[in-house]
A and B are shown apart, each in its own frame.
Chain A
Amino acid sequence: MSKEIEKLSFEKAIEELEDIVDSLEEGGLSLEDSLDKFSRGIKLIKYCNEKLSETEKKIEVLIKEDDELQKIVPFEEEFGQ
C-alpha cells in the first residue's frame, strides 16, 4: 500500500486518499495506525496539490507554413480579435 507517493499517478493518489479518509472516518483503527494514515493522507494531499498547480495556462496554435515547416505561436497573436 505504501508505494512511494512520487510514483503514483494523480488518479491513484486521489483514490488512496479517499480510502484513507474513509477508513479513518469508519473508525476502529488504533490511534497509532490512524496517525500513520493521517500523515500519509497529508502527504498525498500535498502531492495532489502540486500536481494540480503543475500546469500553466497557455493557449497556442500550430501554424503550418508548408508541409515541412511548422511553428507553434500564442493563439492571440495569430487569431486574436
Chain B
Amino acid sequence: MEYNIDSIYSVSQINSYLEALFSTDDVLQDLWVKGEVSNFYKANSGHLYFTIKDENSQLKTVMFRSRSSKLDFELEDGMEIAVHGYINVYKVRGEYQLYADQIIPEGKGTLYEQFEKLKQKLKEEGLFKDEHKKKIPLIPKKIGIVTSPTGAAIRDMLSVVNRRFKNVSILIVPSLVQGDKAAGQIVEGINYLNSRDDIDLIIVSRGGGSIEDLWSFNEEIVARAIYNSKVPVISGVGHETDFTIADFVADLRAPTPSAAAELAIANREEIETSLDNLTKRLLHNQKARIKNAKDRLNSLSSRRLFQKPEELFVDKMQKLDELSQNLKWNMEKTLNKSREKFNILNSKLDTLSPLKTIKRGYSITYDNKLNPITDINNVDQGQVIKTRVINGQFESEVKKIIEDGGLDE
C-alpha cells in the first residue's frame, strides 16, 4: 500500500466515520447486553460510568442522569444486570461504549420478559376476554379520570372535552403515573371512583414515555383493579404503538389520552346525531303517512259514488219497481181466475140445487135425525118422519111400507 498524502485521514475523521458506521447498524442501535458491573462510578453530574463484563471480555458503559435518575435501585460493583441502549463511539477517547437507557437487575428478567409473562398469566386467567368487557355507557354523566393532574395527558384530555363537548362532568383523581408508588396510587384511584355512586365511566391515563415510564400500567395490581372495577374503564396510555397490560384488561383501549377522551364522549355526540336523525325520520315518516292517508281519502271522496250516492240505489229501486209490478199482475191474474171459477161453480150449484126440484113439486123426507130417507129399508112402520116442501114441512107417521115390486095400492 502506497503512502499518499491526499488519502490520509485525521483521527477525528476516522472516529466520525466510525460513529456514522455504528449509527447505521440496527443491532448496535437497539440492544440488550448482560453482564457483571465493575468500575462503577457515579459522577457529581449524576451520570453513571461503569463496565459490564463476563469472564473474557468487557464493555464500557455510560448512563446519563436523565435516565439514571429513574433507576429504582442502587447500582453497585458485582451486580449482575441487563442493560438496554445503543453502542457508539466516544470520539474524545476513540473508544466505543454502551449508552444505557435502562438497567434491570438480573434475575428479574427484562421488562419485556416480565410484560410477556404477566400478559400470558392474565390471559390464561381470562382477564382479557371479551365477555368480561363492560359496555361503555352511551352518555356518561360523570367520568372519573385517574392520571397526573399536571401531566400532558390531562391537558390533552381536557382540551378534547373543552373543544368538543358541553355537558360532561369530570372528576380527576390525581395519581403518580410513574415510579414505584404509581401503581398503588392508580389502584387507589380506581377503587375510590368505584366507591362513589355518581361515576359511570373511568379513564386511566398517562402521556407517552419509555417502557419504564409506562411500567406502572403493566403492573398486576393495576390490571386487577381495572378488571375488578364495577365501572367500565377506558385505558389511554402512551402513544398509539404502546401496549400495556392495562390496555388488554380495560373495557376499551384508547391509543392515546386524547383518544380516550374522544371515545368517552364521542358516543354522546354520535347519540345526539342519531337521536336527531331518528326524530327527523319519525316526523318525516309520519308526515308522509298522514299525507298518504289524506290523499287516499281525497281520491276516494272524489269518486262518483260519493258525488252521486243515489246511483248506488237506482238499480235496486228499479228492480224493486219491476218486482212489485210483477206481483200486482200475478195477483190480479190469480184473482180473475178464482172469480171465474167461482162463477162457474155458482151456476153449477144453482142447477143442482134441490130447492129448484122441490119447487117443481118434489119433496124430501128425513128421519128424526134429519137424514134424508132414500132407501125404503131405512123406514120402519110407525116411524115419525119429516117432509120438506117448498114453503114448509110437515110430520107424518108411516102407515105401511111398500117395497117396489110389491103390491101397489
Beta-carbon contacts under 8 Å, B333-386 to A: none
Q: Which of A24, A58, A61, A79 contacts B285 (CB 8 A)?
A: A24
Residues in chain A near residue B278, CB distance under 8 A: 14, 17-18, 21, 41, 45
Which one of B10-18, B66-74, B168-176 is at the interface?
B168-176
Residue B289 is within 8 A (CB to CB) of chain A in the complex: yes
Q: Give per-residue flags for A10-44: 1 if the beta carbon is below 8 A from chain B beta carbons, else 0.
A: 11001001101100110000010011001001100
Residues in chain B near residue A58, CB distance under 8 A: 169-170
Q: Which of B142, B168, B169, B282 contacts A41 (CB 8 A)?
A: B282
Q: Which of B165, B169, B282 contacts A38 (CB 8 A)?
A: B282
Q: Give per-residue flags for B129-160: 1 if the beta carbon is below 8 A from chain A beta carbons, else 0.
A: 00000000111011000000110001000100
A45 touches B172 (CB 8 A): no
Give 19 A-B pairs besides A14-B271, A24-B285, A52-B272 with Cβ atoms closer than 8 angstroms: A17-B275, A21-B285, A24-B282, A25-B285, A34-B289, A38-B282, A41-B282, A45-B275, A48-B275, A56-B167, A56-B169, A58-B170, A62-B171, A62-B172, A62-B173, A62-B174, A75-B170, A79-B149, A79-B154
Residues in chain B near residue A64, CB distance under 8 A: 174
Q: Which 9 A-B pairs have the closest CB atoms?
A: A61-B172, A58-B169, A55-B167, A55-B141, A59-B170, A41-B282, A38-B286, A24-B285, A62-B173
13 pairs, A vs B, C-beta closer than 8 Å? A21-B278, A24-B286, A25-B285, A31-B293, A38-B286, A45-B279, A51-B139, A52-B275, A54-B141, A55-B167, A57-B168, A72-B171, A78-B149
Residues in chain B near residue A59, CB distance under 8 A: 158, 161, 169-170, 172
Residues in chain A near residue B192, CB distance under 8 A: 62
Number of A-B contacts (CB under 8 A): 96
Interface residues on B, range: 20 to 34
Complex-state Cα separation, A38 to B289, whole angstroms: 11
Residue B274 is within 8 A (CB to CB) of chain A in the complex: yes
B192 to chain A, nearest CB (A): 7
Q: Which of A21, A24, A56 contacts B289 (CB 8 A)?
A: A24
Among B158, B174, B279, chain A packs the most CB atoms within 10 A around the CB of: B279
B190 to chain A, nearest CB (A): 13
Residues in chain A near residue B282, CB distance under 8 A: 17, 20-21, 24, 38, 41-42, 45
Residues in chain A near residue B271, CB distance under 8 A: 14, 52
B174 touches A57 (CB 8 A): no
Residue of A nearest to B275 (CB): A48
Complex-state Cα separation, A59 to B137, whole angstroms: 19
Residues in chain A near residue B173, CB distance under 8 A: 61-62
B92 to chain A, nearest CB (A): 43
A57 touches B166 (CB 8 A): yes
Residues in chain B near residue A20, CB distance under 8 A: 282
Residues in chain A near residue B174, CB distance under 8 A: 61-64
A60 to chain B, nearest CB (A): 5
Complex-state Cα separation, A52 to B268, whole angstroms: 8
A57 touches B167 (CB 8 A): yes
Residue B281 is within 8 A (CB to CB) of chain A in the complex: yes
A60 touches B172 (CB 8 A): yes
Complex-state Cα separation, A31 to B170, whole angstroms: 46
A60 touches B281 (CB 8 A): no
Complex-state Cα separation, A57 to B169, whole angstroms: 5
Residue A53 is within 8 A (CB to CB) of chain B in the complex: yes
A55 touches B139 (CB 8 A): yes
A14 touches B275 (CB 8 A): yes
A60 touches B170 (CB 8 A): yes
B172 touches A75 (CB 8 A): yes
Residues in chain A near residue B274, CB distance under 8 A: 14
Residue of B nearest to A38 (CB): B286
**A24-B282, A62-B192 known; A79-B150 Cβ under 8 A:** yes
B276 to chain A, nearest CB (A): 9
A80 to chain B, nearest CB (A): 10
Beta-carbon contacts under 8 Å, B6-57 to A: none
B117 to chain A, nearest CB (A): 33
B293 touches A49 (CB 8 A): no
B170 touches A21 (CB 8 A): no
Complex-state Cα separation, A51 to B167, whole angstroms: 11
A31 touches B285 (CB 8 A): no
A72 to chain B, nearest CB (A): 7
Among B138, B169, B275, chain A packs the most CB atoms within 10 A around the CB of: B275
Complex-state Cα separation, A79 to B165, whole angstroms: 20
Residue of A nearest to B155 (CB): A81
Residue of B nearest to A49 (CB): B275
Q: Give per-residue flags for B379-404: 1 if the beta carbon is below 8 A from chain A beta carbons, else 0.
A: 00000000000000000000000000
